[in-house]
Amino acid sequence: MVVTAKDLRFNTSVVFDLLSKGEDITVTYRGKAKAKLIPIHEEKRKKTDIAFGMWRDKTESVDETVRVMRKGRTFDL
């Protein structure tokens, strides 16, 4: 589908509805194609970020680790 920049500005919800249905959208400005909007597929959205898997191999819970990190330091003099 082709929409103008003005359509995109005033009818954003309609454009998002079309994207959610899997349709590619070309945005034109003064009659010339300027951008292409493509939907993000569900497989890409479910990809886990590496930061979320950093506790996967740990045996202690996150709460225990944070409690240990928050304890005050003791210095032996």
What is the β-pairing status of strands 2-4 and 32-37?
unpaired
Within a domain: residue 56? Answer: no
Within a domain: residue 51? Answer: no
Within a domain: residue 54? Answer: no
Residue 19 maps to which CATH number?
3.40.1620.10
Inter-residue contact 7 to 15 (CB < 8 Å) = yes
Domain count, the chain: 1
Is the pTM higher than 0.75? The answer reads no
Give the domain range for residue 28: 1-41
Within a domain: residue 19? Answer: yes
Q: Once rounded to an integer, what is the mean pLDDT over residues 62-71?
A: 82
Within a domain: residue 31? Answer: yes
pLDDT tens by residue, 7-18: 999 999 999 999
